[in-house]
Amino acid sequence: MTGTTNRFGDQGWPFFLLLALVLGAVLRLSFPGDIEYKGDERYMFEASQEVGVTQPWPALGMNSGVKIKNPGMSVWIFAALARITHASTPPELARAVQGLNILALLVLAYFSLWILPEKEGWAWRWAAAFAAVNPFAVLFHRKIWAQCTLPLFCVFFWIAWHFRQKRIGAFWVGLLGICLGQIHLSGFFLAAGVFLWTAFHDPRTRWGYWLAGSLIGLVPMVPWLQYLAAGSGGGFNWESPLWILYPKFWIYWLTDPFGIGLTYSLKTVHFLDFLRFPLIDGRGTYMVALLHLVIVASGCFLLVSAQKAGGLLWDFRAASGTGLAVNSVLWGTGLLMTLSCVKIFRHYLIMTFPLEWVWLSRLALADPDRGKSLLTALWAAQLLLSILFLVYIHINHGDPLGDYGVGYQYQ
């Protein structure tokens, strides 16, 4: 291979990817008692134990961030996971979610190695490696949250989308797109953005089968549609139209794949304390701060290198299947979500899995020689940052004042 070979060599790359997947599994399964366990997680765990046992299968789920209830599938998935894995405690149910996300990494790796064309596959392989160790991926892949179950279904969605010009592929991309939205409402934005962008750029898609899959996917959400039609939820909680001027989707898109922004989980004062971590004899080593500097510096060099190699809008101009996939989410979904005036939270972008890292990898690989080194530095820094974050949470029993809250075993 020429422009897309990895610094480890063609023979060394499978070992690197295997190492990344193993490390990703270890990170997700570590410290099982430290999982977040607040109101949302408690609701989902209790529902997983009661649904089909002492309570009927619900037509609707819990309230969403836009002040309407989620479809019932957001709860069904946890009831199903509890039945399949016999989970009877919150850590056991979280372990089921973690297992689901480890499987997502494995399927993503298989997709990149055996299904995608060789030239396009490299960006997806790097994406699998980054998704395994990225701090936000690790954080979200350990939670009892509906959106945290999305990654595996997102990977299947993109596999189906890859075969959208065939009947079976188009059918499944339609069906899975509707189901993603029923698990978490952000999935509807993904499905709509990909549909509209693909419709504009690829008329060869088997639209009849896409529609058929979508219609079948609508069946289990009929009660939710009736709930919306009745106005029982009081309508969407739209933000001010001025929200359109705040490009929050793209801010998260830019920072997530680099692992920057753990103030999302830690209160600011504790994040500043985290920057001093790890401590030796009570004194800060500031290794976490150094890792952030490495990530920011590598990211800046990467963006400059991409600009010189082909421009930062290289992905926008790309005609390849991967370029189309990235743009359908970066622009299609991003614009829909921004124009909706719904307040966007970082965890909504879980539904983009794994396109944030595919985007990052493609930009870097626009300059193969320098890009591979920068990706390697970023990957190593994010691995260490994820390890230190989990250890920090374990030592401090979570973050009682931050979003993370007190870890389950310390409550």
- Which tokens belong to 411? 């409550």
Q: What is the pLDDT of residue 368?
A: 79
Question: Comparing C-alpha atoms, which of 334, 304, 292, 357 is closest to residue 105?
Answer: 357
The whole-angstrom separation of Cα 106 and Cα 22 is: 10
Which value, in Å, is the radius of gyration of the alpha carbons in the chain?
A: 21
Q: What is the pLDDT of residue 309?
A: 72
Q: What is the pLDDT of residue 238?
A: 55
Q: What is the pLDDT of residue 10?
A: 61
Question: Comparing C-alpha atoms, which of 406, 329, 381 is closest to residue 135?
Answer: 381
Q: What is the pLDDT of residue 393?
A: 98
Q: Is the pTM of this model over 0.75?
A: yes
Q: What is the pLDDT of residue 313?
A: 60
The whole-angstrom separation of Cα 221 and Cα 382 is: 39
Q: Report the SS3 class of residue 51.
A: strand
Q: What is the pLDDT of residue 110?
A: 96
Below-50 pLDDT ranges, the chain: 1-9
For residue 175, what is the DSSP state?
H
Burial status of residue 160 (CB atoms within 10 A of its CB: 0-12, 13-18, 19 or more): buried
Q: What is the pLDDT of residue 6?
A: 43
For residue 369, what is the DSSP state?
H
Sign of the dihedral defined by the CA atoms of residues 80, 85, 87, 90, in that order = negative
Q: What is the pLDDT of residue 1?
A: 35
pLDDT digits (tens, 9 = 90+) for 327-377: 999 999 999 999 988 889 999 999 999 999 999 999 999 887 788 899 999
The whole-angstrom separation of Cα 238 and Cα 71 is: 19
Burial status of residue 118 (CB atoms within 10 A of its CB: 0-12, 13-18, 19 or more): exposed
Q: What is the pLDDT of residue 2?
A: 37
The residues that bridge with 71 in the sheet, in sequence order, are 60
